[in-house]
């Protein structure tokens, strides 16, 4: 008998979600998974386990997006550390030809495909979908076991019970793991390496996660994320993170990386320790992190220190240029702080990846224009816009349900993207116009910045310019 596990990508776009399991991997996202649990080595060799990448991970491997350190790949360490065989596939093609008809990595369809193709397997689901909407998953007869929350520990315990033919509840809450005891993320699971999403961050590029959870209370994200990770942020030790970077240096020789935590800069003591030990270890690679405008305003010295060790870009959730909308989102920042945070970044020569949303419930055209004005003033190196999408489990989703605003209940449409009509009461022609206006235009300074972080290209162009000047002087 084989064991099949699955996870859902529901709500993956606005929050990081844990991922663990085996077939088919219906991906979650960033704060996902530390693979395995090294203290549970007591299991003998178990049945073979098959892991299948979902559509998002396949797109990532083609270079369409960056696969965060975690996701479905996290399963490998969980099962291999306790002696299981793991096989990897991309998508459902090897299971059934009808896989093309599966509704975009939705768990309900995915488990049916697995059951038809592999009728004797045990199907285990986990991740955001069963954690946030357990009733929605319980009704699926094809599912044998459901693990909510984080699953590294409980999945191994479940496999132990199956091997011993012991009882295990169909629905259980995953036990919280000690992040320092989990093996490092196994990147060999991917047939290709992670790809950078901005030319300044050169390949080889990798992603690293230092912790799970978020203490903030944004209405477009909470309480869904707390249903998965709880209300606190749990971090790996800095030594553990530096240890992983050293291994990545030896095995991949990475040139740049991203720390994909929701808010890496939340704990100034942790950041200070990371900065000191990153420098002491001799790392020179540039990297980017995610932070908040209010933190940048309160702790400019910390931001400066990060820039000194190579934090070249911040991904900042500005979200809106209007204070009323920011209050609706419970963002906990003001428009003034958004502008000031951008100014501080410019003063410190830090690049900006600006996250912002358009088309919120009750948002007017003038309020959207405030956001356009803010983004054009900030002039970020990367524009990361989205049309507001109501994610199940969040308070803003409940607001949309109460006011009959949803235009779709198709889970495959619950994505953070700048296209598609998501809710009623929004003129999407205006939203598309605002999106176009917010994109800005290419500036010579962008090309200069790009060249400045490529020494070989810089030297080549400098030589060409010098040769051209010499040629002109000869004439």
Tell me the per-residue pLDDT of 71-109, one tens digit each, with 9 for 90 and over. 455 545 555 555 555 555 544 444 444 333 333 345 677
Residue 441: predicted pLDDT: 54
Q: Kindly write down the DSSP assignment for every residue of 307-359, as one continuous string.
A: HHHTEEEEEEEEE-S-HHHHHHTT----HHHHHHHHHHHHHTT-EEEEEEEE-
Distance CA 457, CA 451 (A): 7
Q: Are 422 and 396 in contact, with CB atoms under 8 Å apart?
A: no
DSSP 389-418: -PPTTSHHHHHHHHTT-BS---GGG---BS
pLDDT of residue 82: 54
Q: Which residue has better confidence, 194 or 213?
A: 213
Question: What is the C-alpha to C-alpha distance for residues 392 and 422, in angstroms, rounded to an integer?
Answer: 13
Q: What is the average pLDDT across 327-341?
A: 98
The arithmetic mean of pLDDT across residues 158-177, rounded, is 90
How far is C-alpha 279 from the geometric centre of its chain's CA atoms? 26
Residue 306: its pLDDT value, please? 98
Identify the architecture of domain 196-441 in CATH.
Alpha-Beta Barrel (3.20)
| Topology, domain 3-180 | Rossmann fold (3.40.50)
% pLDDT > 70, the chain:
69
**pLDDT: which is higher, 72 or 185:** 185
Do 301 and 278 contact (CB within 8 A), yes or no? Answer: no
Which long-range contacts link 403-406 to residues 24+ away (Cβ below 8 Å)?
A: 403/361, 405/361
Which comes out higher in pLDDT, residue 181 or 373? Answer: 373
pLDDT in tens, 206-220: 999 999 999 999 999
Is pLDDT above 50 for 41?
Answer: no
Residue 398 has pLDDT above 50, yes or no: yes
pLDDT, residue 3, reads 52
Lowest mean pLDDT among 182-186, 210-214, 292-296, 359-363: 182-186
Query: Would you tell me how many other CB atoms lie within 10 Å of the CB of residue 289?
Result: 22
Which pTM was predicted? 0.79
pLDDT at 153 exceeding the cut of 90: no
Confidence of residue 17 (pLDDT cuts 50, 70, 90): very low
User: Which pLDDT tens digit goes with each residue over 424-465?
Assistant: 999 999 999 999 999 865 555 555 555 555 555 656 666 676
Name, in order, each residue with C-beta under 8 angstroms of 24's C-beta and a sequence gap of 6 or more.
Answer: 4, 6, 51, 52, 54, 91, 92, 95, 110, 113, 114
In angstroms, the Cα distances linking 323 to 156, 177, 292, 365, 368 are 47, 39, 16, 14, 11
Q: Where are the domains of the chain?
A: 3-180, 196-441, 444-475
Q: For residue 199, what pLDDT band results from cuts at 50, 70 and 90? A: confident
Secondary structure string (H, E, C) spanning 245-301: HHHHHHHCCCCEEEECCCCCCCCHHHHHHHHHHHHHCCCCCEEEEEECHHHHHHCHH
Quick check: 141 pLDDT over 80?
A: yes
- CA distance linking residue 151 with residue 143, whole number of Å: 16
Give tens-digit pLDDT for 280-295.
Answer: 999 999 999 999 999 9
Model confidence at 36: pLDDT above 90? no
Q: Are 72 and 53 in contact (CB under 8 A)?
A: yes
Please, what is the average pLDDT of the chain?
78
SS (H, E, C) 61-106: HCCCCCCCCCHHHHHHHHHHCCCCCEEEEECCCCCCHHHHHCCCCC
pLDDT band at 12 (very low <50, low <70, confident <90, very high): very low
| Range of lowest pLDDT (14-23, 199-208, 408-417) | 14-23
Average pLDDT over residues 359-379: 97
Confidence of residue 472 (pLDDT cuts 50, 70, 90): low
pLDDT band with cut points at 50, 70 and 90 for residue 311: very high
In Å, how far are 51, 67, 88, 127, 410 from 74, measured between CA atoms? 10, 12, 12, 12, 27
d(CA 373, CA 226): 33
Query: Is residue 257 predicted with pLDDT exceeding 90?
Result: yes
- Whether 154 shows a pLDDT value over 70: the answer reads yes
């Amino acid at each position: 008998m084989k064991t099949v596990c699955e996870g859902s990508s529901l709500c993956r776009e606005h929050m990081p979600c844990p991922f663990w399991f085996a077939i088919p991997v219906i991906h979650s996202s960033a704060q996902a998974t530390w693979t395995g649990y090294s203290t549970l080595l007591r299991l003998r060799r178990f049945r073979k386990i098959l892991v299948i990448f979902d559509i998002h991970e396949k797109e990532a491997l083609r270079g369409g997006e960056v696969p965060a350190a975690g996701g479905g790949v996290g399963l490998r360490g969980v099962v291999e550390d306790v002696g299981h065989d793991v096989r990897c596939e991309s998508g459902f093609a090897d299971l059934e030809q009808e896989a093309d008809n599966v509704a975009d990595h939705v768990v309900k369809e995915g488990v049916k495909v697995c059951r038809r193709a592999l009728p004797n397997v045990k199907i285990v689901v986990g991740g955001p979908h069963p954690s946030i909407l357990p009733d929605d998953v319980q009704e699926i007869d094809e599912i044998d076991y459901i693990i909510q929350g984080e699953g590294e520990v409980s999945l191994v315990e479940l496999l132990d019970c199956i091997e011993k033919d012991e009882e295990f509840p169909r629905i259980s809450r995953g036990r919280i793991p000690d992040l320092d005891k989990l093996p490092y993320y196994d990147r060999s699971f991917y047939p290709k390496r992670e790809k950078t999403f901005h030319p300044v961050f050169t390949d080889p590029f990798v992603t690293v996660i230092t912790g799970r959870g978020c203490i903030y209370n944004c209405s477009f994200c909470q309480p869904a994320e707390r249903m998965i990770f709880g209300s606190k942020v749990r971090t790996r030790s800095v030594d553990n993170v530096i240890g992983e970077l050293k291994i990545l240096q030896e095995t991949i020789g990475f040139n740049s990386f991203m720390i994909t935590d929701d808010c890496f800069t939340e704990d100034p003591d942790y950041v200070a320790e990371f900065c000191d030990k990153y420098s002491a270890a001799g790392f020179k690679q540039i990297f980017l992190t995610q932070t908040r405008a209010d933190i940048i305003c309160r702790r400019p010295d910390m931001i400066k220190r990060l820039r000194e060790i190579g934090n070249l870009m911040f991904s900042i959730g500005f979200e809106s240029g209007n204070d009323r909308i920011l209050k609706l989102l419970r963002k906990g920042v003001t428009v003034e702080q958004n502008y000031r945070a951008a100014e501080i970044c410019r003063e410190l020569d830090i690049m900006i990846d600006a996250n912002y949303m358009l088309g919120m419930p009750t948002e007017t055209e003038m309020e959207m224009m405030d956001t356009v004005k803010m983004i054009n003033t900030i002039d970020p190196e990367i524009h990361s816009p989205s049309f507001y999408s109501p994610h199940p489990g969040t308070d803003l989703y409940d607001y949309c349900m109460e006011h009959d605003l949803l235009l779709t209940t198709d889970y495959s449409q619950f994505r953070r993207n700048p296209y598609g009509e998501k809710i009623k009461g929004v003129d999407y022609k205006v939203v598309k116009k605002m999106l176009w206006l917010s994109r800005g235009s290419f500036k010579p300074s962008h090309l200069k910045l790009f060249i400045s972080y490529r020494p070989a290209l810089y030297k080549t162009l400098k030589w060409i310019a010098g040769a051209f000047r010499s040629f002109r002087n000869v004439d």
